[in-house]
Amino acid sequence: MQSTAINLTGKHMLTLLDYTVEEIDYLLMKASELKQATQKGELNELLRGKSLGMIFENASTRTRVSFEVGMTQLGGHALFLSPKDLQIGRGEPIKDTANVLSRYVDAIMIRTNSHQTVEEFATHATVPVINALTDAYHPCQALADALTIKEKKGALKGLTLVYVGDGNNVAHSLMAVGAKTGMNVTISSPDGYEVDSEIFVRAKEQAKETGAIIKVEQDPLVAAKGADIIYTDVWTSMGYENEQSKHSQDLKPYQVNEGLMAEADSKAIFMHCLPAHRDEEVTSGVIDSAQSVVYDQAENRLHVQKAILASVISHNGC
């Protein structure tokens, strides 16, 4: 089924909460189309002659490779830019960097620690800015997750995803994608690790349009009861390594193990955005089980990235 075109040219991708239900549906359909074309060996050089600037403040495997390969498969070119390679690493204002890069490239992708940084880039850039991960949101990951769930379950609306662990950027974006697709999302975190209250309220409000239920349940075993998807992430995000010992102690009861999976639906799938710390937030038995779809998630980052790039960058024929 070919997606009905929706014009997203020039639109920033900072958080899925800024996108409409129809726009999210379009991006997922576009990703599916591009994935099928890739699997058939069909070339779709929608972005021939276009360039993507990729700014990374942190190490990356899936984000860097998927965006770079995605641009190549679309006929474009991606440039890897680290702070040590840019004047921004020596104190150049974000405003100046954003304005200058906008005159060289057709889109800017940023993986940064502070969400404020990506928002400031978007304020001053004259090309679309894509949030590849901040402390507040991870929209590209959540879209890849939604595509994976749709492939495995046939639909999103009415399903229940339970996220267990630290209420971080991934949890925030899962609430957002649930709100936009009609998928129920329950967050289970201990005291001190809850999701951001403002983001939670915003997601709940937007979920009214699709009928999704966005809620929290502190007890992970209660939360997992009958779930269609169990999802977790590392207990200590990048930049918080000095708190790893405390996080491990506080979050130990929130490990996804065989006992917790047994509370979910018998056909439940397990998800993790990777990289995973095996036998910390998830046991090796679960992540390596037949219920695990973590590598499908990782692959779908490529196809979702291509859908975003093909939609927000100005070109002919999309």
Binding positions for L-ornithine: 169, 233, 237-238
Mean pLDDT of 194-214: 98
Binding-site residue numbers for carbamoyl phosphate are 60-63, 87, 111, 138-141, 273-274, 301
What single string gives the DSSP state of each residue in 77-139?
EEEEE-GGGSGGGGT--HHHHHHHHHTT-SEEEEE-S-HHHHHHHHHH-SS-EEEEE-SS--H
Q: Which residues contact 290 (CB under 8 A, 6 or more apart)?
A: none
Annotated binding site: 60-63, 87, 111, 138-141, 169, 233, 237-238, 273-274, 301
In the chain, count of helices (H) and strands (E)?
12, 9
Looking at the chain, the whole-number percentage of residues with pLDDT higher than 90 is 87
Q: Which active-site residues does the annotation give?
A: 111, 138, 141, 233, 273, 301
pLDDT digits (tens, 9 = 90+) for 293-307: 999 999 999 999 999
pLDDT in tens, 244-293: 889 999 999 999 999 999 999 999 999 999 999 999 999 999 999 999 99
Tens digit of pLDDT for each residue in 84-95? 777 665 678 899
The structure's pTM equals 0.95
Range in 39-48, 144-153, 194-203 with the lowest mean pLDDT: 39-48
